[in-house]
Amino acid sequence: MNKASRIFWPVLVTPKNAIVKHTEQLSRSQKLLTEMGLVKPGSNGTFQIMPICQRVLDKCTELVQQNMQNAGGQKITLPILTPTQLWKKTGRLDGDISEFYMVRDRSGKQFLMSPTHEEAITAMLATNAPISYRQLPLRLYQIGPKFRDELKSRFGLMRAKEFLMKDMYTFDLSTEAAKDTYTAISAAYDHLFNQLEVPFVKVNAATGMMGGSLSHEYHYISAVGEDTLLQCQVCNYAGNAEILGETESAESAKCPNCNGVNLSQVRGIEVAHTFLLGDKYSKPLGATFLNTAGKPEPLIMGCYGIGITRVIAAALEVLSSEQELRWPKLLAPFDVCVIGPKQGSKEQQVAESIETELLSQLTQICRAQDLLHDDRKDLTIGKRLLDAKRLGHPLIIVVGAKAAQAEAPKLEIHVSGSEKQDLDREAVLRVVAAHIKRKRKLLTFTDNTETAPASMKQQSALFN
């Protein structure tokens, strides 16, 4: 199991009388992650992930991978550097590329530090073209760093210059088949965001520089969100205000579906995006397949992104209080934190015996790697409990003076977001078992409506 005394955890300590001056507006998630030593600022717009937060990042990555593989995805890795000549062929180098990083090698050849990989993966397939229609559909994804020189890098991991992203690129033999793929991957996205149990909305979106004929965004609703989302109260159409055109303000907008003017609006943090691209990239780059008649045709594409680091920060923004982190169940760094008696306390000997047995029993219920033992017994129980609450552990178990009572010994259990309870050991173990059972159900459910607190059927409630 994990020992708190061995974890690198550089908590930001601010003297009581210090005057703290922030040169930028901090979001709730950024403030808590920084103060608790889970994320440290690097250079402007870049961040260093510390061990506790790295556990969260790994869990989120694994959950995304499971859903992509269940949707028929195959994992690959593409170079971060993409030759600019590929972007010239698709015409995207002529657009607004001010937020992209450019580098040159020693021979003078220019590369993009890829913000996205449509050109790179399409060019790769073109080197194998034409492929047979029997090999389609093809769904390839990767998880890796992306780079964008944000003009306003802010709110920590939510808008950083370097971030972790899952990007999938799909290839089909027709527009109809590509729409089927779009439906399948969108369903996988719905499934993933339902598993996380953070209220979300899915809205129509502009295709922008990516191009294509169809696009949707997934958003977490938050006051710090940079996007304005609109929903028609007549036909329930929901979309990003961007699709209404730059000259129309959200206040005077009309529904593009029914032309109604009764639109409600909220702010959203974009965490995922899907595009139906058509042949925008395959035609200029020569990525083709052989049809049933043996003739080459351009591959029909889609692309699908999830900002993994942004999902984590945005989820915390929605769930956390001003003083304490709150994690989605499947992403919490640890399931259980056990706090034993202080060194030298009168109950130490008896309580430590119970603590040892409890830790052994807990490893039979949850994975040892998801169990944290706060063994910093030079600190008071109160200090360790404060740290544990701020870190947002789903379950905190305190083995203190009440555990050493001769009659009816009790353990103190704190369930994240709830009042503490004093329970006997067997009752505490049942609480832990119920939590683990719930996690397993979230990991295995297949019906999108089973555990969805904010499925698309509930979208309207999030706008009100």
CA distance 385 to 339: 7
Q: Between residues 146 and 248, which one has the greater pLDDT?
A: 146
Q: What is the mean pLDDT of the chain?
A: 90
CA distance 115 to 208: 14
- CA 171 remoteness from chain centre: 25
Encode the chain in three state secondary structure: CEEHHHCCCCCCCCCCCCCCCCCCCCCHHHHHHHHCCCEEECCCCCEEECHHHHHHHHHHHHHHHHHHHHCCCEECCCCCEEEHHHHHHHCHHHCCCCCCCEEECCCCCEEEECCCCHHHHHHHHHCCCCEEHHHCCEEEEEEEEEECCCCCCECHHHECCEEEEEEEEEEECCHHHHHHHHHHHHHHHHHHHHHHCCCEEEEECCCHHHCCCEEEEEEEECCCCCEEEEEECCCCCEEEHHHHCCCCCCCCCCCCCCCCCCEEEEEEEEEEEEEEEECCCHHHHCCEEECCCCCEEECEEEEEEEEHHHHHHHHHHHHCCCCCCCCCCCCCCCCEEEECCCCCCCCHHHHHHHHHHHHHHHHHHCCHHHEEEECCCCCCHHHHHHHHHHHCCCEEEECCHHHHCCCCCCEEEEECCCCCEEECHHHHHHHHHHHHHHHHHHHHCCCCCCCCCCCHHHHHHHHC
Report the relative pairing of strands 227-232 and 288-290 from DSSP bridges: unpaired
Give residue for tokens 């506790």.
52
Q: What per-residue confidence (pLDDT) applies to 449? A: 39
Contact 204, 91 (CB under 8 A): no
The two tokens of residue 334 are 């640890």
Residue pLDDT, tens place only, 191-245:
999 999 999 999 999 887 777 788 999 999 999 999 999 988 888 889 998 887 6
The two tokens of residue 43 are 């250079």
CA distance 335 to 178: 40
Q: What per-residue confidence (pLDDT) applies to 220? A: 96
Q: What per-residue confidence (pLDDT) applies to 108? A: 94
Q: What per-residue confidence (pLDDT) applies to 184? A: 97
Encode 365-405 in three state secondary structure: HCCHHHEEEECCCCCCHHHHHHHHHHHCCCEEEECCHHHHC
Strand partners, 91: none
The two tokens of residue 153 are 């890098």
Residue 168 has pLDDT above 80, yes or no: yes
Q: What per-residue confidence (pLDDT) applies to 452? A: 41
Residue 375 has pLDDT above 80, yes or no: yes
Q: By percentage, how much of the chain surpasses pLDDT 90? A: 73
Residue 451 has pLDDT above 60, yes or no: no
Q: What per-residue confidence (pLDDT) applies to 98? A: 86
Residues of the chain with CATH 3.40.50.800: 336-444
Please state which of the ranges 74-78, 207-211, 352-356, 434-438 shows the lowest mean pLDDT: 207-211
The two tokens of residue 318 are 């929605």
Residues of the chain with CATH 3.30.930.10: 54-319
pLDDT band at 250 (very low <50, low <70, confident <90, very high): low
Residue 128 has pLDDT above 50, yes or no: yes
Residue 157 has pLDDT above 60, yes or no: yes
Radius of gyration, CA atoms only, the chain: 25
The two tokens of residue 40 are 């440290």
Residue 442 has pLDDT above 90, yes or no: yes
Please state which of the ranges 206-210, 266-270, 301-305 shows the lowest mean pLDDT: 206-210
Q: Which CATH class is domain 54-319?
A: alpha beta
Sorted by sequence, the CB contacts under 8 Å of residue 46 that are 6+ apart come out as 160, 161, 162
For residues 286-302, average pLDDT: 96
CATH topology for the 336-444 domain: Rossmann fold (3.40.50)
Residue 72 has pLDDT above 60, yes or no: yes
CA distance 415 to 411: 13
pLDDT band at 454 (very low <50, low <70, confident <90, very high): very low
pTM confidence score: 0.92
Q: What per-residue confidence (pLDDT) applies to 126? A: 95
CA distance 65 to 69: 6
Residue 45 has pLDDT above 90, yes or no: no
The two tokens of residue 55 are 């556990």
At residue 208, φ and ψ (nearest 5 deg) are 55, -145
Q: What per-residue confidence (pLDDT) applies to 246? A: 45
Q: What per-residue confidence (pLDDT) applies to 259? A: 87
Residue 450 has pLDDT above 50, yes or no: no
pLDDT band at 457 (very low <50, low <70, confident <90, very high): very low
Strand order in the sheet with 371-374: 2-3, 371-374, 336-339, 395-398, 411-415, 421-423
The two tokens of residue 23 are 């040169």
Residue pLDDT, tens place only, 4-14:
999 998 887 76
Residue 459 has pLDDT above 60, yes or no: no
CA distance 61 to 106: 35
Report the residue count for the chain: 464
Q: What per-residue confidence (pLDDT) applies to 461? A: 63
Residue 456 has pLDDT above 50, yes or no: no
CB burial of 10-24 (b: ≥16 within 10 Å; e: otherwise) equals eeeeeeeeeeeeeee
Residue pLDDT, tens place only, 315-369:
999 999 999 999 999 999 999 999 999 999 999 999 999 999 999 999 999 999 9
Q: Between residues 16 and 277, which one has the greater pLDDT?
A: 277
pLDDT band at 275 (very low <50, low <70, confident <90, very high): very high
Q: By percentage, how much of the chain surpasses pLDDT 70? A: 92
Residue pLDDT, tens place only, 83-118:
999 999 999 998 888 889 999 999 999 999 999 999
Residue pLDDT, tens place only, 383-405:
999 999 999 999 999 999 999 88
